[in-house]
Every structure is written in structure tokens, then in C-alpha cells.
Amino acid sequence: MTDKQFVDGLIIKPPHEKAPDFVKCSISIKRKDLGNWLRQKDDEWINLDVKVSQNGKWYAEVNSWKPNKKDQPRGDEPGMSGAGSNDFFDDDIPF
């Protein structure tokens, strides 16, 4: 299991008590800190999970899950589309 990674310059808060139901959280960004944190990352995408700690504090944690090579489907397995699966042609299309 990897160590937990938190995002510098990103503050997650619960919605205000009078916020409408479609507001799920409030996010504050400290541009300088977040920018410095992002420049240290090489990944094109960074996924975050918004969580609530045991004492009720909201926070964002980096979701670093990546599929294992053995868990990814291979094209030559039964039921999986492999090479040539895009060669579909149907003469019965009515247009």
C-alpha cells in the first residue's frame, strides 16, 4: 500500500448549512502552494478523493491506484475484442 498523499494549497470544506442540495463541498485554492505542488508531479492526470477524517475534517487525498498489468484484459482472451474488431460492415443499413 502506498503512503497517503495530500494536496498542498487545496482546502476542502463541507457545504455551508444553507447551501442547496446540489452543492457537495467547498474548495479553496491557494494558487502559489497548489502551483508548486503540481509542478512537482509528472503525471498527466492526478485523481483526488474527497474524504472526511474521523474527527470530521474534510480533505483531499491523491488516488494513486493503478491497475496491475495482470488485471488488464488482453485482446486474445475469449470474449475480448482483439485485432480486427473494428472491421464491422453491415449491408442491411437502411440509409
This prediction has a pTM of 0.64
* pLDDT classification of 49: cutoffs 50, 70, 90: very high
Residues of the chain above pLDDT 70, percent: 73
Residues of the chain above pLDDT 90, percent: 63
Residue 3 pLDDT exceeds 70:
yes
Domain range annotation of the chain: 10-71
Contact (CB, 8 A) for 78 and 66: no
Residue 68 has a pLDDT of: 85
Residue 80 has a pLDDT of: 53
Across 51-77, average pLDDT: 84
